[in-house]
């Protein structure tokens, strides 16, 4: 019991500066998935340029920002054993659920990092990324400067994403969709190679992997799903 209390204290003080009065039990469960979840920044940063050593192969690396509970990550990793996947998520419970799904399938090409999408350059080397998925990011209505997809993301992809690499973006938010199309139009190194405002009525529907939020928007709110593929062309 004392040992457990010490573990909680250590983890709490790793993540939070404020004193502990209660804690999220999923914080401690991060420790149950050592092969699937990294939460210490230094460890992630030490893999910069060396993720092939982590995965034990030279396969291309794809990254997802904001995996949620990991349905998409688990499924795409299963479909593509010839690729490696790094999933970023901040919430403890979602990280544990995602890791648990991948563990059940014994996947060896996925890892989840408790890390912000804004910090890619701290743990990825130049041209280490072959592709990027961003599914249903927060649209930050009224506070759009906080959005994940904005000019600063492309500035870091200028260095981190290989030429030919693709950013895949899905959103229920029609204005976010339009804003990203407009933004990419201003960027010389990137080109929209596919877009639709109704993914589920498009030719891409058949191979589409639905995320948890996508289920919600589709079936509960009967909402059209917007989808864009953006390629780095030079």
Ligand X SMILES: C[S@@+](CC[C@H](N)C(=O)[O-])C[C@H]1O[C@@H](n2cnc3c(N)ncnc32)[C@H](O)[C@@H]1O
Among 48, 83, 91, 93, binds ligand X (CB under 6 A): 91
Q: How many residues does the chain have?
A: 234
CB of 193 to ligand X, least distance (A): 22
Among 7, 32, 122, 138, binds ligand X (CB under 6 A): 138
Contact status: 89 vs ligand X (CB under 6 A): yes
- As to burial, measured by CB atoms within 10 angstroms (0-12 exposed, 13-18 middle, 19+ buried), residue 91 is middle
Contact status: 41 vs ligand X (CB under 6 A): no
Contact status: 30 vs ligand X (CB under 6 A): no
Can you list the alpha helix ranges (DSSP code H) found in the chain? 2-15, 25-29, 41-46, 51-55, 71-79, 92-104, 120-123, 151-160, 174-185, 212-215
Contact status: 171 vs ligand X (CB under 6 A): no
Q: How far is CA 32 from CA 14, 20, 36, 203, in A?
A: 17, 21, 9, 40
Active site residue 138: yes
Contact status: 139 vs ligand X (CB under 6 A): no
Give me the catalytic one of 32, 46, 138, 174: 138
DSSP 205: T
C-alpha angle 120/226/201, rounded to 5°? 135
Contact status: 223 vs ligand X (CB under 6 A): no
Contact status: 132 vs ligand X (CB under 6 A): no
Look up tokens 């983890």; give the residue: 11
Among 31, 90, 193, 205, binds ligand X (CB under 6 A): 90
Among 159, 212, 218, 229, binds ligand X (CB under 6 A): 212
Please identify, using beta-carbon distances, which residue of 143 and 186 lies nearer to ligand X: 143
Contact status: 68 vs ligand X (CB under 6 A): yes
Contact status: 213 vs ligand X (CB under 6 A): yes
Please identify, using beta-carbon distances, which residue of 138 and 185 lies nearer to ligand X: 138
Q: How far is CA 4 from CA 8, 18, 65, 103, 156, in A?
A: 6, 20, 31, 24, 40
Residues with catalytic roles: 138
């Amino acid at each position: 019991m004392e040992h457990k209390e010490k573990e909680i204290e250590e983890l709490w003080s790793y993540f939070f500066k404020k004193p502990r009065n209660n804690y999220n039990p999923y914080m401690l469960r991060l420790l149950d998935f050592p092969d699937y979840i990294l939460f210490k920044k230094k460890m992630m940063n030490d893999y910069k340029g060396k993720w092939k050593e982590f995965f034990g192969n030279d396969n291309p690396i794809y990254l997802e920002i904001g995996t949620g509970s990991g349905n998409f990550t688990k499924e795409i990793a299963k479909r593509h054993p010839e690729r490696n996947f790094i999933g970023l998520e901040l919430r403890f419970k979602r990280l544990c659920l995602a890791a648990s799904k991948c563990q059940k399938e014994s996947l060896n090409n996925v890892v989840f990092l408790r890390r912000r999408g804004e910090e890619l350059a701290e743990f990825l080397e130049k041209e280490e990324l072959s592709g990027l998925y961003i599914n249903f990011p927060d649209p930050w209505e009224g506070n759009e400067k906080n959005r994940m997809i904005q000019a600063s993301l492309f500035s870091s992809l200028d260095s981190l994403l290989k030429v030919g690499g693709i950013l895949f973006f899905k959103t229920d938010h029609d204005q976010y969709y339009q804003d990203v199309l407009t933004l990419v139009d201003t960027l010389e190194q990137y080109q929209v190679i596919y877009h639709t405002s109704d993914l589920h009525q498009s030719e891409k529907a058949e191979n589409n992997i639905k995320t948890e939020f996508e289920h919600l928007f589709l079936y509960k709110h009967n909402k059209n799903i917007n989808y864009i593929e953006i390629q780095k062309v030079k």
